[in-house]
């Protein structure tokens, strides 16, 4: 059996439970960005997400929720 770092195992487990196939979500986001960019009505472009950017954004959302719960503790000295 291969030894894995605990944080890698927890991350993979969370992704498997939260999103059965999270790479499909990244593909759908990129399809929506392409559709938006090809539209003649818009002047701005949305860049496509990489898998790393998606996971980073997900981590930021989870972290923001945690800070929101304990936000009052940020300003206590």
pLDDT at 30: 94
Domain that holds residue 25: 20-75
Q: How confident is the model at residue 3 (pLDDT cuts 50, 70, 90)?
A: confident
pLDDT at 27: 94
Total of domains in the chain: 1
pLDDT tens profile 8-60: 777 777 877 877 788 898 999 999 999 988 887 777 888 898 988 988 888 88
Q: Is residue 47 one of the residues assigned to a domain?
A: yes
pLDDT at 46: 86
Q: Are 19 and 25 in contact (CB under 8 A)?
A: yes
Place of tokens 């498997």: 16
Give CA–CA dist 67/54, Å, rounded: 20
Q: Is residue 3 one of the residues assigned to a domain?
A: no
Q: Does the pTM exceed 0.85?
A: no
């Amino acid at each position: 059996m291969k030894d894995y770092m605990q944080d890698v195992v927890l991350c993979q487990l969370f992704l498997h439970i939260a999103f059965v196939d999270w790479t499909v979500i990244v593909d759908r986001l990129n399809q929506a960005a392409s559709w938006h960019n090809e539209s003649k009505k818009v002047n701005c472009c949305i860049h496509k997400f990489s898998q790393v950017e998606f996971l980073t954004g997900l981590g930021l959302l989870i972290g923001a929720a945690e800070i929101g719960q304990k936000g009052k503790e940020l300003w206590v000295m």
